[in-house]
Amino acid sequence: MSMDRHVGIGDLGVVGGGAGVLVTHSLGSCVAVVMYDAARGVGGMLHFQLPESRLNAERASSQPALFADTGIERLVASVVAQGGVPKRSRIYLIGGSQMVVEMQAAQIGKRNALAAKKALWNLGLPLQAEHLGGTVSRTVRLNLATGAVCVFIGGKEMVEL
């Protein structure tokens, strides 16, 4: 029986051995970065809230997974530590919604998505797929046995990436 490993806001999880499930809930403007190396059965998931660590260097030092740039660096390092190879991994981005209409000007979801793409591009890591934007919350599950990435939209609809 596999156990779910929950990844909270400003958190990341990496599992090797090809067993278990990584899951994160309630992605609004936050973005999940999912990385899966099928050859090694290593998967990782990051749930970050803010685009750039320079917004709060002190907080980034204590909680690097809260930010796109430092979180993605930490995710990549953790996947490598488990024996995964990021350059051959499938990488997905999910989330980045505009949840509060009154905060339209801030566009934090869009800024988060762009920051993640920039960080991955800087590392030479291409995206397999993305499920970004809109005005809905999402839950994401990575099945480490199969590599399946499932996105549950608004708690109802399910899409497999």
Please give the share of the chain, as a percent, with pLDDT higher than 90.
Answer: 77
Residue 30 catalytic? yes
More confident residue, 149 or 156: 149
User: Residue 161 — very low, low, confident or very high, per pLDDT cuts 50/70/90?
Assistant: confident
Angle at 103 between CA 105 and CA 139, to 5 degrees: 115
CATH of the domain at 91: 3.30.1330.200
CA 64 to chain centroid, in Å, comes to 13
Task: Write the CB contacts of 103 (distance below 8 Å, at least 6 apart in sequence).
Answer: none
pLDDT over 70 at 104, yes or no:
no
| 140: confidence class by pLDDT, cuts 50, 70, 90 | very high
| Position 134 pLDDT exceeds 70 | yes
| Average pLDDT over every residue of 41-69 | 94
The mean per-residue pLDDT over the stretch 59-81 comes to 96
If one counts the domains in the chain, the total is 1
Q: Catalytic residue among 22, 30, 68, 76, which?
A: 30
Rounded Cα distance between 29 and 132, Å, is 9
Confidence of residue 156 (pLDDT cuts 50, 70, 90): confident
Nearest CA among 7, 21, 12, 4 for reference residue 146: 21
Q: What is the pLDDT of residue 12?
A: 97
pLDDT higher than 50, residue 1: no
Backbone angles phi, psi at 62, to 5 degrees: -85, -25
pTM tops 0.85: yes
Q: Which domain holds residue 101?
A: 4-160
